Structure 1
Amino acid sequence: MQYRFFAGKGGVGKTSCAAATALREAERGADVLLVSTDPAHSLGDALGRALGPEARGVPVRGRGRLRALEMDADAALDRWIAAREPRLREIASRGTYLSREEIDRFFRLSLPGVDELVGLVELERLRRELEPERVIVDTAPTGHALRLLDTPALLAQLARVLDDMQEKHRQVASALAVGRYREDAEDALIAEIEGEARDARERLRDPERAAVRWVALPEALSVEETRDGLDALASMGVRVDEIVVNRVTPMPRARCARCEARIASERDAIGALLDRASAPVRLVPRLEGEPRGIDGLRALGEALGRDDHGRGLIATKTRATRPAPRARPAHPIGFVTDASLRLALFGGKGGVGKTSCAAAAAIAIAEQHPDRRVLLLSTDPAHSLGDALELRLDDEPRPVPGVEGRLDAREIDATAELARRKEEHARGVDAVFDALRGGSRLDPVLDRAIVHDLVDLAPPGIDELFSIVAILDALDDAYDLVIVDTAPWGHTERLLALPATVREWVKALLAVLLEYRGVIGLGGLAEDLVALSRSLGRVVETWRDPARTAFVPVTRAAALPRAETERLLGSLASRGMRVPSVIVVADDDRDGAPRCGPCARALADEADERRALRTGDAKMVRAPLLAVPPRGVRGLRAWAREWEVAR
């Protein structure tokens, strides 16, 4: 097995499981390379040591070897382009009407989605240069991990664009050489990229060389996302060799209302997963204490390697039913975010509860301000907002039943919107070239193919642009407040940087169109680009206006989420974004229910983590960590009534 990818919904423990597996295999004698491709790296936090883009040794017992690194995708892309830049430039100059200066401008642009674009290529480079026996990969959360695994299709598409450009040169050279054409270095580059795409596809589809280990939690939302992820991997032909259900609650040794409630809920979720599982299922118990550092990861690794796959965890019987929610009166939720704002973005590390927090806050605000029209919007490519609301959602806003106010909800389908825009522009390209038949200076067949390919070739992450456009449109569509459930932090940070990045793309594309103006005219594409540039400028202004926009980080009272939250707060401060509060989802003892020893110790540990979290000027809001996660309008409403300002 050359590659094993750990994938799944954010916050399920992918990083810990990947690190624990790598440590276990190294201590059994293997030479292992452990790599994080998540732009919001937490692998170093899990191992308890500083990591960077260069492989560093991790001490292990026995004769095995473990090296670890956190991938720097921008540096990896720069390295890949630098090795091929002269040939890429030559192909671009042969196949387009761009000047050398304009080609240079494109090479200086940042690429949205660079971590997904270059991830597989960089992994293969590392494997060849470092020669480990196996590579274990900690991926980004679901939607972005699936894009990473779809890299072969993007490489093949790039090779096709370059080949169409090179074909113009081949035809001219053949005409000048009376039908004879000799392949050159540029043809070799195209063949190289085609080979990389083919090899990557074959490697991922070979069950002897690559497999995915899917990590989930014994919770309804995680099970739903697991089903969707497994279906997507099956359509790619990628094998899932095991489904790891992490943090399964073991039967307590003493009376514990929280453990018993969790077990009852988890039994339902695990049963639903087993009914649909297309791979072996392993149950891993909730460990006492966070599996952090070598000793903590070693204990998790032992659980991941048990021969019984943890099946004894579902053989237990519960002694209690789920606790009934406590009835509490509604209270103003202004301590979370000012309801007079136009835009509130909820974000954080995957799995901390940001979707539930965004939904609960939206319900509370809509009911406390019935005069305001509120939209609850999900920009996470792996949506779970509909599951949290127990409502079927799609790309059209729809009212949320049961809310005593005006609340709509929507899950943005950015991929579908990108496909629609591509099709729209492709029709525009055909219309232009159809009008040029006859006296044009262009070769209609080749130039048409090249422009079509360029329209179709979009780096991963560009579809998130349409999430931004959708937010802006919602603000223009008479919504008084838009509450956004964002993707996990690494990709939300990319979303926040995207307007500036895309504006540079737009300026470069407009410059190209101006060069082509005398040949094909500007057409509707130029008008779209000008309108987009103006919209992106408005987005940046809106995000940086504290009277209109706020960002509400959501975190858990544990070491890894706390470390990432503090990095998140630093990034938001550097972008000039207002942070009125930080929601910490944590256990509390207000219910007075009996607790077992591990739950009592976990409560004390969480209190320590809350005290250690540095939130600056932002208020800390404590949302209780329920034994059974809240779902539906009634459950989310009741949960929001439990929130309180901690300090």
Structure 2
Amino acid sequence: MAHLLELFDSLRLAMFSGKGGVGKTTLACAFARHWAKRFPEEQVLLLSTDPAHSLGDILQIPVHGEAESLADLPNLKVQALDAKALLQDFKTRYGSVLELLVERGSFVEGSDLAPVWELAWPGLDELMGILEIQRLLNDHLVDRVVIDMAPSGHTLSLLGLREFLDNFLKALTLFQEKHRVISRTFSKNYQTDEADTFLKEMKAELEAGWQLLEDPNFTGCLVVANPEPMSWLETERFIAALEKLHIPCAGLFLNRILTDDSDGDRLSEQAELVEKFVHLSQDLLLVPQFSREPLGGEALDVALQSVFTEMPKAPEKLTVQWPEQYGPGFSDFIEEKRRLILVGGKGGVGKTTAAAAIAYQMSQRHPESKILVISIDPAHSLGDAFGCTLGHDPVHLAPNLEAQEIDTDRVLEDFKRDYLWELADMMAGDDPDSTMSIAYGPEAWRMIVTQALPGIDEMLSLLTVIEYLEQEEVDLVILDTAPTGHLLRFLEMPAALGDWLAWIFKLWMKYQHVLGRTEFMGRLRTLRQRVMQAQKRLKDPKHTEFIGVFQAQAAIMAETERLEAAMAEKGVSQRYLVWNRYKPGQQAHFPKQILVRLGPLPRTISALARVAGAADLLFESSASSPRTPEKDRFSTPSR
């Protein structure tokens, strides 16, 4: 109903986010069209900050890095953020002054810094995303902006960049203050220069942008969720995190609501979960499950007009029914001596359930082997899949199975201690006995390296996995990865980190007579060797295998095709694709992979029972009926 959407008329910036796969992009596209029709005299921009966006798949048009108007709505422009292009624009505008500031705060010459712009930056998508949002807000280039954000974990990384950018500017200010002190030493009068102007203007622009992002009359995060347990748990955490960041949550769209009694099991679970969602947001809008996926402008317009607020009644409790087992299934990864299994795909397709099920089955079949399943998604849900609380330290779920959710803050602290503090001191390049050095040099560089730049998740997760594989104490590691775009970034980390270390080595070779630190450079060389070895292992089909997960939806299947091509280009082995929520009669064409089909799992059972059932259904030669946890050696810690 259109009047329900009037709640958001006062907003100028609407950010759609939530757990992967809940329908963020569909609703963002529909909402942008709604605004363009409701405010025909205003210019509306629909922008995606997701590196693996699907705007084009939903709108059924090509979408590029340049904003282009829709044919039927000329006042609505659509754009996919191109982080690399934005970085080049940023370099053109600010590159010379940034190089000047860093030169003033370190031992390097400006020419030494030029290669940095060509390196792969951790967190480039988030960094360029927030800077582009800031630019749009400050320059008033459009009247209203709708942003299709990345899944919740990476949305929080983007919105959490305030501290990083503030501290980065403080560090640059210290570099400039050092220059001022030196200048005044030789000349009583100091003349402000382009660096002073840059620092003043950038600080003012960022502050103005943050004020708008925190203004509930201007900005609203519209959270999208599904009536499913894992979506509920992640949404609860996400809204709490938004509150800590002072980002206003304007409302909650609960998508794919079943309105008939065709699936009593699902309807029963849905009724229980909707009651929980009601307590999260006063402005709760329900979006029905459509028989056909809304694709293209006309279907999207109809979809958004179908929102409602009154919940369907729940049926009587029904008997649990499991889907049948469809062949073929997975082979035995332990018998094949695989060491690393990567499970990935578009957000919300069932990656975590598949990863948990693989770990479960391998631990059951091989009690003599040690299995470790790790979540490297910043919005962890591995614990939700097992029905228990997980953290950074591995938790025993069975005598031979451990699970953990990487805490990048913990890993970053270790990385700082082992490498970054000394790297900061080295980059400062000052005499440690000098008063000026203590006041301006290492302090500023430590402010820079202490920041957890988004994207460092992938690098630090890689180092953690390397350690487990090197120790030879684990027979099989299963990674529950972040959604597609950030999974690809994880796979690019070995080459990216290797390039950064190579640049540092080049600097050291040039200035080693000043720097010394031979032992430290030896440790960095060892780190680079380990990273390069990890890259070889990722491309060794006898060692590593990628398993994609997808569902029978147009946007998901299109992204799965792109992911398959990307994996082939990166040389990562992919034998299997899991077709989750498969229903007989559905068709998919992936001739290079074995399709392992998994039907819809029962809803009104425990999380662990669902994982156990999925484990049996996914593998060859499993029991004819799913086991229950009570028959196994499994015991999960309570929440």
Same fold (TM over 0.5): yes
2:585 equivalent to 1:626:
no
Deviating more after overlay: 134-143 vs 417-426: 417-426
Residue 616 of structure 2 aligns with an amino acid whose one-letter code is R
Q: 1:627 to 1:560 in 2, by over 3 A?
A: farther
The runs of 4+ residues in structure 1 deviating greater than 6 Å are 326-332, 335-338, 429-435
Q: Provide the rounded CA distance (Å) in 2 between the counterparts of 1:273 and 1:348.
A: 26
Deviations 1:490-533 (A, max 9, x none): 10000001110111111222334455644453176534422321
Q: Which residue of 2 aligns with 1:588?
A: 583
Q: 1:295 to 1:627 in 2, by over 3 A?
A: farther
Q: Provide the rounded CA distance (Å) in 1 between the counterparts of 2:566 and 2:538.
A: 14
Q: Displacement, 1:640? A: 2.7
Conserved 8 A contact 1:156-1:193: no
Q: Provide the rounded CA distance (Å) in 1 between the counterparts of 2:608 and 2:336.
A: 19
- Given candidates 45, 60, 84, the residue that maps to 1:33 is 45
Q: Displacement, 1:463? A: 2.9
1:404-483 equivalence runs, <5 A: 406-422=400-416, 438=433, 443-457=437-451, 459-477=453-471, 478-483=473-478
1:123-202 equivalence runs, <5 A: 123-126=133-136, 131-178=141-188, 180-202=189-211
Deviations 1:333-392 (A, max 9, x none): 317897520111000000000100111111112212223211111110100000100121
Q: Which residue of 2 aligns with 1:333?
A: 330
Residue 333 of structure 1 aligns with an amino acid whose one-letter code is F
Deviating more after overlay: 361-370 vs 46-55: 361-370
Residue 607 of structure 2 aligns with an amino acid whose one-letter code is G
Q: Which residue of 1 aligns with 2:71?
A: 59
Deviating more after overlay: 540-549 vs 79-88: 79-88
Q: Which residue of 2 aligns with 1:45?
A: 57
Q: Displacement, 1:457? A: 4.3
1:206-605 equivalence runs, <5 A: 206-252=215-261, 256=262, 259-275=263-279, 277-304=280-307, 310-314=308-312, 316-325=313-322, 333-334=330-331, 339-401=336-398, 406-422=400-416, 438=433, 443-457=437-451, 459-477=453-471, 478-514=473-509, 517-519=512-514, 521-522=516-517, 525-588=520-583
Q: Displacement, 1:450? A: 2.8
Q: Provide the rounded CA distance (Å) in 2 between the counterparts of 1:547 and 1:434.
A: 45
Q: Displacement, 1:133? A: 1.6
Conserved 8 A contact 1:366-1:372: yes
Residue 375 of structure 1 aligns with an amino acid whose one-letter code is L
Q: Displacement, 1:144? A: 0.6
- Given candidates 70, 93, 96, the residue that maps to 1:86 is 96
Deviations 1:283-307 (A, max 9, x none): 2111121011112211221134xxx
| Structure 2 gaps, min length 5 | 1-10, 621-639
| Structure 1 gaps, min length 5 | 305-309, 590-603
Q: Displacement, 1:210? A: 1.1
Residue 535 of structure 2 aligns with an amino acid whose one-letter code is V
Q: Provide the rounded CA distance (Å) in 1 between the counterparts of 2:415 and 2:530.
A: 16
Q: 1:127 to 1:528 in 2, by over 3 A?
A: same
Q: Which residue of 2 aligns with 1:592?
A: none
Conserved 8 A contact 2:86-2:128: yes
Conserved 8 A contact 1:393-1:409: yes
Q: Displacement, 1:163? A: 1.1
Q: Provide the rounded CA distance (Å) in 1 between the counterparts of 2:360 and 2:328.
A: 12
Q: 1:429 to 1:553 in 2, by over 3 A?
A: closer
Q: Provide the rounded CA distance (Å) in 2 between the counterparts of 1:335 and 1:496.
A: 24
Percent same amino acid at aligned positions?
30
Q: Provide the rounded CA distance (Å) in 2 between the counterparts of 1:291 and 1:581.
A: 29
Q: Provide the rounded CA distance (Å) in 1 between the counterparts of 2:519 and 2:376.
A: 28
Q: Provide the rounded CA distance (Å) in 1 between the counterparts of 2:84 and 2:287.
A: 35
Residue 457 of structure 2 aligns with an amino acid whose one-letter code is D
Q: 1:279 to 1:166 in 2, by over 3 A?
A: farther
Q: Provide the rounded CA distance (Å) in 2 between the counterparts of 1:185 and 1:329.
A: 67
Q: Provide the rounded CA distance (Å) in 1 between the counterparts of 2:146 and 2:108.
A: 42
Conserved 8 A contact 1:98-1:515: no
Q: Provide the rounded CA distance (Å) in 2 between the counterparts of 1:463 and 1:194.
A: 27
Residue 559 of structure 2 aligns with an amino acid whose one-letter code is E
Conserved 8 A contact 1:143-1:381: yes
Conserved 8 A contact 1:356-1:630: no
Q: 1:209 to 1:621 in 2, by over 3 A?
A: same
Classify the secondary structure of the residue corresponding to 1:101.
Answer: helix
Q: 1:86 to 1:219 in 2, by over 3 A?
A: same
Q: Provide the rounded CA distance (Å) in 2 between the counterparts of 1:414 and 1:285.
A: 37
Conserved 8 A contact 1:339-1:365: no
Residue 592 of structure 2 aligns with an amino acid whose one-letter code is D
Residue 53 of structure 1 aligns with an amino acid whose one-letter code is G
Residue 103 of structure 1 aligns with an amino acid whose one-letter code is L
Q: Provide the rounded CA distance (Å) in 2 between the counterparts of 1:152 and 1:396.
A: 29
Classify the secondary structure of the residue corresponding to 2:310.
Answer: helix
Conserved 8 A contact 1:5-1:136: yes
Residue 463 of structure 1 aligns with an amino acid whose one-letter code is D
2:120 equivalent to 1:110:
yes
Q: 1:429 to 1:509 in 2, by over 3 A?
A: closer
Classify the secondary structure of the residue corresponding to 1:83.
Answer: helix
Deviations 1:45-91 (A, max 9, x none): 00011110111111346xx7211111101111110121112212222
- Compute the RMSD of aligned alpha carbons: 2.8
Q: 1:280 to 1:489 in 2, by over 3 A?
A: same
Q: Displacement, 1:642? A: 2.6
Conserved 8 A contact 2:372-2:403: yes
Q: Provide the rounded CA distance (Å) in 1 between the counterparts of 2:513 and 2:438.
A: 15
Q: Provide the rounded CA distance (Å) in 2 between the counterparts of 1:630 and 1:195.
A: 53
Q: Displacement, 1:452? A: 1.6
Deviating more after overlay: 442-451 vs 350-359: 442-451
Q: Provide the rounded CA distance (Å) in 2 between the counterparts of 1:500 and 1:466.
A: 14
Residue 559 of structure 1 aligns with an amino acid whose one-letter code is A
Q: Provide the rounded CA distance (Å) in 1 between the counterparts of 2:334 and 2:39.
A: 52
Q: Provide the rounded CA distance (Å) in 1 between the counterparts of 2:496 and 2:424.
A: 28
Classify the secondary structure of the residue corresponding to 2:378.
Answer: coil
Deviating more after overlay: 457-466 vs 81-90: 457-466
Q: 1:183 to 1:28 in 2, by over 3 A?
A: same
Q: Provide the rounded CA distance (Å) in 2 between the counterparts of 1:37 and 1:561.
A: 17
Q: Provide the rounded CA distance (Å) in 2 between the counterparts of 1:538 and 1:169.
A: 42
Q: Provide the rounded CA distance (Å) in 2 between the counterparts of 1:453 and 1:622.
A: 50
Q: 1:330 to 1:570 in 2, by over 3 A?
A: closer
Q: 1:13 to 1:518 in 2, by over 3 A?
A: same
Classify the secondary structure of the residue corresponding to 1:136.
Answer: strand
Q: Provide the rounded CA distance (Å) in 2 between the counterparts of 1:564 and 1:9.
A: 17
- Given candidates 24, 33, 39, the residue that maps to 2:34 is 24
Q: Provide the rounded CA distance (Å) in 2 between the counterparts of 1:637 and 1:361.
A: 10
2:588 equivalent to 1:616:
no
Deviations 1:79-130 (A, max 9, x none): 0121112212222222211023322222332212111001122134346678
Conserved 8 A contact 2:107-2:429: no
Conserved 8 A contact 2:171-2:448: yes
Classify the secondary structure of the residue corresponding to 1:494.
Answer: helix
Q: Provide the rounded CA distance (Å) in 2 between the counterparts of 1:452 and 1:338.
A: 47
Conserved 8 A contact 2:601-2:610: no
- Give TM-score, length-normalised by structure 1: 0.88
Q: Provide the rounded CA distance (Å) in 2 between the counterparts of 1:499 and 1:426.
A: 18
Q: 1:360 to 1:190 in 2, by over 3 A?
A: same
Q: Displacement, 1:230? A: 0.8
Classify the secondary structure of the residue corresponding to 1:395.
Answer: coil
